[in-house]
Structure formats: C-alpha cells, structure tokens
Structure 1
Amino acid sequence: MTTSTYLTRMLVAGLGCLILSSCSKIGLAPVPNESVPLSPGQVHVIPNYDVNDTALTNKGWIKSFEDNFNGDLSQWRVLNGGVQKELACYQAANLKISGGYLTISAKKETVTGPEIVGADPVKSFDYSSGWIVSKAQISINATTPVIRIVARLKVAPGNGLTSLLYSFGGNWPTNGEIDFLEVKGSDKDELLSDYQYGQVPLQDLVKNGLSTTVTDGDLSAAFHVYEFEWSQTSIRTYIDGKLVETKTQGGYIPAMFGKMQSLSLSLPVGGLYYNNLQPANVVPGAMVVDYVKIFSSSKPL
C-alpha cells in the first residue's frame, strides 16, 4: 500500500491471510474538456464518468463478478475489529447500501470492539469505519491470463482517512498483494498504487513498486471509473477510460501468476498511511461505491 505498509499490521482470523495497512446507473460519458491546460505530469479526469459493460464484452472480456450494491453484502465478508496503529474499529454499522450505492463511513464516535480483527480482547475506540473482503477469489493463470477490475466510486475526503481498493492472498506476501487504489483524504488529487510479494511469510521482496498518479481534479468531489488490468507481466491503471500507468517495476509481478487473491474495500482512519497524525485533526468522511466488477480474458496482454 504506501511505503509504510510494507510493515505487518495483523492476522485476520478465518481468512487465513495477513492483511496489510486496508434506476440504471449506466450513462454516456461526458466529453473531456481538452481546452483545460494540465500541469506537467497531471492526468485529466472526467467528473461522473461512467462506462457500459459492452465496451468490454464486445472485445471478448467475460464478466466473472459483479456487485451493483442493489441488495446486500452477501458476496463479501464484513470484518469487525481494529488494526494495529489505526484509530477506528471496523464494524458492519458503517456499511450502508441505499439507492444502488455502498457507503463506507468513517465516524468520530466511541465504540467497543475487538482490539484486532479476529482477536478476542476488546477495547474502546474513538472512531469507527467499514471494511469488506470478497468471498470470491481472483487469479491470473493459463486459462485467464488477464483480469480487469472495474470500480466506480467517490473516494472519501477528510484528513486522516485513506480510501483503499486492493487484492491479497493468504500467507502474506507469498500469494501477493496488489494495492490498486489508495487515495488519502488529505491528498484527494493523487492516486497511489503498489504491490507486495515474498517467497516466505512476512518478508516483502518488492522494491520501488510504489507509484503516484497526480490528477487535475478532486477525486472525492465526483464519481470516477478506475480500471486495473492484471497480467503476468504488468499491472495497468486506467482512470475515466485513460491509461495512466503501466506498472512493471519491482521485479516480482510475474511471481504472482497463479496466486489466488481476494478483493478488499476499506476506509482506514490514521495508521501507517499518515505520519504523526493527531487524532483531534481527523475529519470524518465517507467513500461511496457505485459498483465493482471483474472481467477476465483468455488473451494475454
């Protein structure tokens, strides 16, 4: 996840893995305003962009997972408890489905829960938030050498918060972890991505895998479509239909071929994402998710 998340956070019971620090909605995409000058290195984003599934299925992609958040969270595990150095207790009460959207809220409130997710000791927390992990797992392999994750969401504003979309496998990091999306509430125009892999538990071998995409917009002010293509040789990131990064650095992307991973959405408060964060300076907020879809292809990139 960011450079600080190479550190171990906690073991999640029941998942058998180590987690690291965390009406129709289809419409026409707005036309980009190409007249707006960009600063060097900036990526233009399109507020409330959307995409139709046929844009992918017509090219041979096969949809294997979809949640439009019109019902319940039966496709996900809801985690309960805290994480080392983070300020919030994750709980089901902070996950709300309404109007075809999932809202994950980080709140300032006193709650009691497991000190660590999956552990027995309880403690009092000053903040609460939400965290879900997919029951289905994904993998690139000889049959489906490319996977494309498509998520439409608004990241959370608020100092001390970090919106996360990532995948991970058991016995971290021997089955890998891919941090597709990390956006800090204090830096809402920056998308960070990273990955971790190791040959033995608790030892990440990846160096220089972290990258930052700077955009020309506030990613918390509107919905954006984030797409990620994971293949044996690279991890590609798209924002609002535009390829913004092809990650090959770090040396261990091929090692994750055939590794099974689960998808995760969470909204940590504080923790390893911030240095010297004062709890009094945390600003509560919410991440809103329109949909999450996973497609696979039999054609390698």
Structure 2
Amino acid sequence: MKTSSILAIFISGCLLVSFNSCKKTKDVIDVPSDQTPTGGAQSGGTAVTPTNPVTATTTCDYNFSDTTLTNHGWTKAFDDHFSGDLSNWYALTGGVTNEVMCNEPANAKIVNGELQISAKKETVTGPVTVGSTAQQTFNYTSASITSNQVFSASTATPKLMIVARVKMASGYGLTSVFNSFGTNWPTNGQINFFQVGGNDTREYSTNYFYGTQPSQNTVVGGMQYNPVNSDLSSCYHVFMTEWSQASLKYYIDGRLVETKTGDVPQLFNKQQSLGLSLPVGGMFYNNFVPANIQVGTMYVSYIKVFTSK
C-alpha cells in the first residue's frame, strides 16, 4: 500500500491507526449512529460481544518454528525479526479521533533484536489526525506502523498464515493492536489478529470488518473476547491467524482458540497491509479517565506471513 493511500484513509475519517474495536461494557455494546469504522457492530444498532467459554492455555515465552508450516507445503512470504531497521514498515505521524496520543515515528524502534512500540507521557505538537494540516498539543505519544507489503488470501494463494510473537503492553489506557486492513475501509476488509487492553492483560479480542460502501461496516458479531490462563504482558506469546476463503482461525501458542466464518468469504482477494500500534485511550475504554493513564511498551519479536495452496 502506498503512503498516499494510507493518508487518504485518515483524511477520509476512517481511523485505521488504532483499529480499536467497540468499547467494552461487559457483554453488551451500544453503537452510536455516527459510529467510526473502528466499531464492531452494524451502525446504529446494539451487538452482544461474546466471550469464549473456554479459557485458552498458554505457554510463557513460546516460540515458533518455520518448519511447522514449511514441512507441510507452506511458503514464507514475509519475515521480519527486527534485527536491522524498519524499512519494511511505514510509521505514521499524528493523532487519532477518540484517542489522546500523537503517533511519532521515534516511538517505534528496534532494541536488541526486537521491536518496541512505546507510549510515553510527554508534550508534543503534531497533526490533529494523520494527514491533517491542523496542529494541536498532545500530552502523550505512541507509534503506529503499517507494512509496505500487502497480503491477501486469494485465488493465487488461497491460505494465509499470519504469525506474531509479542509481549503486550500493560497499563490503563493502553491497547496492544495487531491487524490488517485495506484501502477504502471497509470495502477491502480489516482483520484484527489481537487487541489487548493494558488494564486487562488476561484476555484478548479478535474482530473483522467488511462493507460494500466506504465507512459502512456491515459485519455484525465479528468481535470475540478470549480469556487466557496467564498475563499476556509478562512474557512472549505467539499469535497465529489462518485466513482462508471460508474462515479465520485464531491460535495462541500453537492451540486453536476460535474460528470465524460469517462474512469472512467477502474478504477473499482483498489486499491488506499489516498494522502494529499502541493507542492511548480510544473506544476500547468505557468511561475513560485520562488521569489514570499508565504508559508502557509493546514488544514484538517477529512478524511472519506464510502462504499455501
């Protein structure tokens, strides 16, 4: 995806930096009629957000071997171990509606072979939103990066496996996010591989979006919360998502957690960039209290993508 395309998404008001899903209010989410594209239910309605009845078993500092897939016909299409620079990614600059930080490229850096995306308490002046010429003062900074390469479960590569080894950020007001998205949101879709609120790091949510008209998500019930048996900010865990024409299958530390079907076939052949971000505030928090913000860091060991016929 070209830089100009990314900025066009923001200028149009589609908030595809934070990719936060609906605010969490136990089991029921009320969606306003002017819902932004980060919402998880159909505009103007009410959706019940399910929680997985099974608590997923995790393995602290779990690692992943490429041969797990390559020995079974998968081909590696992308591999960033963050041992060099961030040339595979584009860093965004500016604020995001409903969030309180300014995204700054300097907040995404490689340290000792891992990517660190940090939310900091500091005063800066920057674009009100990414791509805007209007400026404002922010009291917090963070980072949001998107891949220069695009990916798709498609006729040419019917299956895609997206792999991320991550240690989540802990702290009220933060949300660790990894997803993929296309231009003209949501006509080319969006897939949330994980979202982890820093105030509750013993669960993660997943979601996906699609619509035939820009800014109009038509997927209902795409979001799910998945409880886990450990603190996702205490050590590294591997999140894998298998994207095929029929389904999205979500794994943590090698174990299948959930499968989404529904409108997933609409995402087939839709090219999407990968996104990593650590928003401060936003729609993930209900009755958000800025005074309670705690800054922190999301650590990423690697991001990999595999394809299969």
AA of the residue aligned to 1:296: T
**Residue 265 in 1 paired to residue 265 in 2?**
no
Paired residues of 2:103 and 2:141 also in contact (CA < 8 A): yes
Cα displacement string for residues 197-245 of structure 1 (whole angstroms, at most 9, x for unaligned residues):
0001111100011111100100000000000000111100100000111
Displacement of 1:263 after TM fit? Answer: 0.3
Counterpart among 121, 136, 148 of residue 135 in structure 1 = 148
Paired residues of 1:13 and 1:119 also in contact (CA < 8 A): no
Displacement of 1:13 after TM fit? Answer: 5.1
Paired residues of 1:87 and 1:269 also in contact (CA < 8 A): yes
Paired residues of 1:13 and 1:117 also in contact (CA < 8 A): no
Displacement of 1:98 after TM fit? Answer: 1.3
Counterpart among 100, 115, 120 of residue 133 in structure 2 = 120
SS state of the match for residue 295, structure 1? Answer: strand
CA distance in 2, matches of 1:109, 1:165: 24
Counterpart among 297, 301, 306 of residue 295 in structure 1 = 306
Paired residues of 2:177 and 2:278 also in contact (CA < 8 A): yes
TM-score (norm 2): 0.85
- Name 1:179's counterpart in structure 2: 192
Alignment of 1:207-286 (within 5 A): 207-248=220-261, 251-286=262-297
AA of the residue aligned to 1:131: S
Displacement of 1:186 after TM fit? Answer: 0.8
Displacement of 1:54 after TM fit? Answer: 1.1
Identity %: 49
AA of the residue aligned to 1:41: V
Paired residues of 1:139 and 1:257 also in contact (CA < 8 A): yes
CA distance in 2, matches of 1:156, 1:115: 24
Cα displacement string for residues 120-155 of structure 1 (whole angstroms, at most 9, x for unaligned residues):
111100100011000000011112101000100101
Displacement of 1:41 after TM fit? Answer: 2.0
Q: Any unmatched runs of 5+ in structure 2? A: 20-51
- Name 1:69's counterpart in structure 2: 82
Give the count of matched residue pairs. 269
**Aligned structure 1 segments of 4 or more residues deviating by more than 6 angstroms:** none
CA distance in 1, matches of 2:68, 2:122: 43
Displacement of 1:62 after TM fit? Answer: 0.3
Q: Are the structure 2 counterparts of residues 13 and 269 from structure 1 closer, same or farther at C-alpha, using a change threshold of 3 Å? A: farther
CA distance in 2, matches of 1:14, 1:144: 24
Displacement of 1:92 after TM fit? Answer: 1.2
AA of the residue aligned to 2:66: D
AA of the residue aligned to 2:85: D
CA distance in 2, matches of 1:125, 1:83: 11
Cα displacement string for residues 257-293 of structure 1 (whole angstroms, at most 9, x for unaligned residues):
1111100000000011111211110000000000000
CA distance in 1, matches of 2:279, 2:128: 15
Counterpart among 93, 101, 104 of residue 88 in structure 1 = 101
CA distance in 2, matches of 1:208, 1:14: 28
CA distance in 2, matches of 1:65, 1:41: 32
SS state of the match for residue 108, structure 1? Answer: strand
Paired residues of 2:91 and 2:146 also in contact (CA < 8 A): yes
RMSD: 1.4
Q: Any unmatched runs of 5+ in structure 1? A: 1-11, 23-38
Displacement of 1:14 after TM fit? Answer: 3.9
AA of the residue aligned to 2:154: N
Displacement of 1:55 after TM fit? Answer: 1.2
Paired residues of 1:19 and 1:168 also in contact (CA < 8 A): no
Paired residues of 2:15 and 2:96 also in contact (CA < 8 A): no
TM-score (norm 1): 0.87
CA distance in 1, matches of 2:159, 2:53: 31
- Name 1:204's counterpart in structure 2: 217
Paired residues of 1:175 and 1:260 also in contact (CA < 8 A): yes
AA of the residue aligned to 1:60: G
